Amino acid sequence: MNPIELSVFSSRIESVCEEMGAVLKRAAFSPNIKDRLDFSCAVFDAGGNLCAQAAHIPVHLGSMAYAMADIVGRMAWREGDMVVVNDPYLGGTHLPDVTLIAPVFVEARLQGFVANRAHHANIGAASPGSMPISTALEEEGVVIAPTFIQRDGRPRPAVMARLCGGREGAAAEGDFAAQISANRLGVQRLSELIAAMGKANAFQAALVALNDYGERLAAAALAAIPDGDYTFTDFMDDDGVGGEDIAISVCIRVRGQRVEIDFDGTAAQVKGNINCPLSVAAAAVYYVFRCLMPAHTPACAGSFRPLRLRAPHACLLNAERPAAVAAGNVETSTRIVDVVLGALAQALPERIPAASHGSMNNIAMGAAATADRAAWDYYETIGGGMGAGPAAAGWSGVQTHMTNTLNTPIESLEQHYPLRILRYALRPGSGGSGRRAGGLGIVREFQFLAPAQVTLLTERRRRRPWGLAGGGYGAAGVNRLDDRPLPGKCSLQVTAGQVLTLATPGGGGWGGA
Residue 472 contacts residue 433 (beta carbons within 8 Å): yes
Is 263 within the bounds of a domain?
no
Q: Which pLDDT score is estimated for 26?
A: 94
* Statement: residue 499 has pLDDT above 70: yes
Cα radius of gyration rounded to whole Å, the chain: 22
pLDDT tens digits for range 238-252: 999 999 999 999 999
Domain boundary among 186, 213, 240: 213
Q: Which pLDDT score is estimated for 164?
A: 84
Is 154 within the bounds of a domain?
yes
Is 235 within the bounds of a domain?
no
- Residue 475 three-state SS: coil
Q: How far is CA 389 from the centre of its chain?
A: 23
State the Cα–Cα distance between residues 35 and 254, nearest whole angstrom.
41
* Of 281 and 36, more confident: 281
Cα pseudo-dihedral 171, 174, 179, 181, rounded to 10: -170
Is 428 within the bounds of a domain?
yes
Dihedral angle sign, alpha carbons of residues 225, 231, 232, 233: positive
Domain boundary among 213, 232, 247: 213
State the Cα–Cα distance between residues 192 and 335, nearest whole angstrom.
41
HSE toward the beta carbon, residue 353, CA cutoff 13 A: 30
Q: Which pLDDT score is estimated for 312?
A: 97
Give residue 121's pLDDT band: very low, low, confident or very high (50, 70, 90). Answer: confident
Q: Which pLDDT score is estimated for 56?
A: 63
State the Cα–Cα distance between residues 68 and 336, nearest whole angstrom.
21
Q: Which pLDDT score is estimated for 64?
A: 73
- The DSSP line for 339-366 is HHHHHHHHH-TTTPPPP------EEEEE
Is 260 within the bounds of a domain?
no
Please enumerate in sequence order all residues whose Cβ is within 8 A of that of 483, keeping only pairs 6 or more positions apart, or say none: none
HSE toward the beta carbon, residue 291, CA cutoff 13 A: 17
Closest to 62 (Cα-Cα) out of 249, 425, 337, 358: 337
Q: Which pLDDT score is estimated for 269?
A: 98
The number of residues in the chain equals 513
State the Cα–Cα distance between residues 410 and 416, nearest whole angstrom.
10
pLDDT tens digits for range 37-73: 889 999 999 999 999 988 666 766 667 777 788 888 8
Backbone angles phi, psi at 40, to 5 degrees: -150, 150
Is 128 within the bounds of a domain?
yes
State the Cα–Cα distance between residues 237 and 68, nearest whole angstrom.
31
pLDDT tens digits for range 336-379: 999 999 999 999 999 999 999 999 999 999 998 888 888 898 99
* Statement: residue 254 has pLDDT above 90: yes
Is 48 within the bounds of a domain?
yes
* Statement: residue 166 has pLDDT above 60: no
* Statement: residue 326 has pLDDT above 80: yes
Please give the average per-residue pLDDT across 292-316, as a whole number: 94
User: 3-state DSSP: the chain helix, strand, coil percent, rounded to 5?
Assistant: 30, 25, 45
Closest to 379 (Cα-Cα) out of 36, 171, 129, 208: 129
pLDDT tens digits for range 265-279: 999 999 999 999 999
Q: Which pLDDT score is estimated for 465?
A: 98
Domain of 393, in residue numbers: 353-513
Q: Which pLDDT score is estimated for 169?
A: 59
Mean model confidence pLDDT for the chain = 93
HSE toward the beta carbon, residue 152, CA cutoff 13 A: 0
For residue 502, list its beta bridge partners.
Answer: 444, 479
Is 314 within the bounds of a domain?
no
How many domains is the chain built from?
A: 2
- Residue 193 three-state SS: helix
Please give the average per-residue pLDDT across 386-409, as a whole number: 92
* Statement: residue 167 has pLDDT above 70: no
Give residue 170's pLDDT band: very low, low, confident or very high (50, 70, 90). Answer: low
Domain boundary among 165, 180, 213: 213
pLDDT tens digits for range 173-200: 899 999 999 999 999 999 999 999 987 7
Q: Which pLDDT score is estimated for 171?
A: 78
Q: How many angstroms separate the Cα of 373 from the Cα of each of 178, 366, 451, 452? A: 26, 11, 11, 12
